[in-house]
Chain A
């Protein structure tokens, strides 16, 4: 019995870990949503395994709640899914994030200087420069 429980727990842990790796790699948000759905399913299975080992029904309400609300995250993400340019969905490395931040800062400084020069054209200038959303 102990061996069986250990085997089940190992399978669940490896499955959840692989799904988390996919959530990190991801290329798009939808892939991440699916991977995290798998993590929720593994979580439900793990709670059920723990209840089965201890023969207690204490955690059953947690399973009910997880099965009701578990799908809301991927529905929400799917609602806001947009076309992502290639490479956009990647997690940036520390150096890349610093470079992007420096570029953004430089652009803001340039915008501020432009505003200082001709305050009249402020609205049009902001529109034309494609303000980062």
Chain B
């Protein structure tokens, strides 16, 4: 195995990574356009933001093969993984608060139960008897 073979292998691997990342970006476009509600679209949108980005950056690193650039690309991946959940959390929360998340489509809905319980506790503290519309007994 001489060095020429290794550069060829690296180039082929880079091509595969770039193709995979590009396909995830395409899939995200299809998903964001066709999925029916906000949370489903958020789910589709996360694909190129994390895995797709990591694949594309790995492909770029395999092509450049210089240490400073590769460290910068690692930094890009870390920043993206640190910031994408912040945006997703706030968008999901704003969507819930403004009624864009229909709770009958959810399999697990802990937030609605929590909000109702907090509301019941608040009313109970204010003097009226606590309300437990679900009949869950505060479980």
Q: Which residues of A contact B25 (CB under 8 A)?
A: 11-12, 15-16, 38, 41-42, 45
Interchain CB contact under 8 A, A49 and B18: yes
Contact status of A67 and B79, CB under 8 A, knowing A41-B49, A45-B56, A60-B72: yes
Q: Whole-angstrom distance between the alpha carbons of A100 and B38 in the complex? A: 28
Interchain CB contact under 8 A, B33 and A22: yes
Q: Whole-angstrom distance between the alpha carbons of A8 and B68 in the complex? A: 26
Interchain CB contact under 8 A, A67 and B64: no
Q: Whole-angstrom distance between the alpha carbons of A37 and B66 in the complex? A: 29
| A contact patch SS | helix
Partner of A49, one of B26, B56, B64: B56
**In the assembled complex, how far is the CB of residue A10 from the closest CB belonging to chain B, in whole angstroms?**
8
Interchain CB contact under 8 A, B41 and A57: no
Q: How large is the interface on A (under 10, 10 to 19, 20 to 34, 35 or more residues)?
A: 35 or more
Interchain CB contact under 8 A, A12 and B22: yes
Interchain CB contact under 8 A, A34 and B76: no
Interchain CB contact under 8 A, A42 and B48: yes
Partner of A67, one of B69, B80, B94: B80
Q: Which residues of B contact A68 (CB under 8 A)?
A: 79, 83
A63 interface hit (Cβ, 8 Å): yes
Q: Which residues of A contact B27 (CB under 8 A)?
A: 15
Contact status of A48 and B69, CB under 8 A, knowing A33-B91, A38-B32: no
**In the assembled complex, how far is the CB of residue B93 from the closest CB belonging to chain A, in whole angstroms?**
7
Which of A75-83, A108-116, A118-126 lies at the interface? A75-83
Interchain CB contact under 8 A, B42 and A34: yes
Partner of B18, one of A4, A55, A67, A79: A4
Which of B27, B48, B53 gathers the greatest number of chain A CB atoms within 10 Å? Answer: B48
Q: Whole-angstrom distance between the alpha carbons of A127 and B98 in the complex? A: 26
The interface of chain B, by Cβ under 8 A from chain A, is: 11, 14-15, 18-19, 21-23, 25-30, 32-33, 38, 41-42, 45, 48-49, 52-53, 56-57, 59-60, 63-64, 66, 68-69, 72-73, 75-77, 79-80, 83-84, 86-87, 90-91, 93-95, 97-100
